[in-house]
Amino acid sequence: LDEAAMKETERRLGRLTKPPGSLGRLESLAVQLAGIAGATVDRPPRKAVVVMAADHGVCEEGVSAFPQEVTGQMVLNFLAGGAAINVLARQAGAEVVCVDIGVKSEVAHESLLVRKVRAGTANLARGAAMTRDEAARAVEVGIGLAEELAARGIGLLATGEMGIGNTTPSAAMLAVFGELDPAEAVGRGTGLDDEGLRRKYETVKRAIETNRPNRDDVLDVIAKVGGLEIAGLAGLILGAAARGVPVVIDGFISTVAAIAAVRFAPIAREYLIPSHLSEERGHRLALRELGLEPMLNLEMRLGEGTGAALAFPVIDAACNVLSQMATFDSAGISEG
């Protein structure tokens, strides 16, 4: 990150009519954005939420409260503008970019980016979710997309996802990367009951025992117990970091993707902006793995990028105070 730009932004923040540091995270965000951009960022950036959609063979183990066909149905809902992420992105002035990176069904729509690596993963409880080559291609989809969006002038990305069953591979990946007991990583997803939760825990445990992923080999972890949209989001973060674009991280699944990205390239961590703390059990541990503190606590557990979209106004505020607030000198105010 650009130290000089960060220092200059700190200096500007220190002249604004407020006690030093009293805008808290708004100030640290402003400094981070400057470090990434190489100059003070005093106008809200153009924003996009990337929603990567894919299916999961592990659904046949009964690990989700919703049937698998909902993935494709929700993709159409995103494209029609009727999902929660559409509403929240619209309110925040962000566009929604929807990507089919591995939906089982064929979804056709003029606004859908079709980058399908395969039509859903295999059941990770019985073998690898995908091949190593497929995992690499899914990561590359994300890298390429970040480059396209950066070239189009997007200055701030947010991660979103849709994939019935995708908290199961996320929990497995978190357990492997964090060397955790799967029980700490497995949660109720969209609304499992106690019996479903127990089944999901057994499934994650079996997936790790069966596949024995090598935690020091990120592609191996993704291929064996991951998901296509998770791989795609990890790639999106890597591509964004490479292009100097910060990325707002949504909930549990997105945070696991961010862990994978940071394992690929530790510098990617400097480009991450946390958003909310999800209700999904493993999210707190996933954030801790990255050393990130959430800014919002809204008891949400929807995914799609909804928590990230609600953090956009905080980031806009960090930019707006820099250009719109008076200084002690300009306002004639005594300093402490």
Is 304 among the catalytic positions?
A: yes
Contacting a copy of itself (CB under 8 A), which of 52, 88, 204, 233? 88
Which segment (34-42, 118-126, 252-260, 302-310) binds a copy of itself by CB under 8 A? 302-310
Which segment (12-20, 115-123, 138-146, 208-216) binds a copy of itself by CB under 8 A? 12-20
5 SS3 class: helix
Alpha helix stretches (DSSP H) within 212-324: 218-225, 228-243, 252-264, 283-290, 306-324
Which segment (3-11, 84-92, 172-180, 284-292) binds a copy of itself by CB under 8 A? 84-92
CA distance 149 to 47: 10
- Site membership for a copy of itself, residue 77 (CB under 8 A): yes
- Site membership for a copy of itself, residue 195 (CB under 8 A): no
Least Å from the CB of residue 108 to a copy of itself: 15
CA distance 155 to 131: 33
CB atoms within 10 A of CB 42: 17
What does the block give as tokens for 67? 């049937």
- Site membership for a copy of itself, residue 105 (CB under 8 A): no
What does the block give as tokens for 221? 């972890």
Cα 144 to its chain centre, rounded Å, is: 16
- Site membership for a copy of itself, residue 59 (CB under 8 A): no
Cβ pair 136, 88 in contact under 8 A: no
Contacting a copy of itself (CB under 8 A), which of 42, 66, 105, 202? 66
Cβ pair 224, 131 in contact under 8 A: no
Contacting a copy of itself (CB under 8 A), which of 23, 51, 124, 207? 23
What does the block give as tokens for 92? 């925040």
- Site membership for a copy of itself, residue 294 (CB under 8 A): yes
- Site membership for a copy of itself, residue 310 (CB under 8 A): yes
Closest CA to 238 of 271, 286, 283, 276: 271
Footprint on this chain of a copy of itself (rule: CB under 8 A):
16-26, 64-67, 69-70, 73-74, 76-77, 80, 82-84, 86-88, 90-92, 190-191, 279, 293-302, 306, 310, 313-314, 316-317, 320-321, 324-326, 330-336
Q: Which residues are catalytic?
A: 304
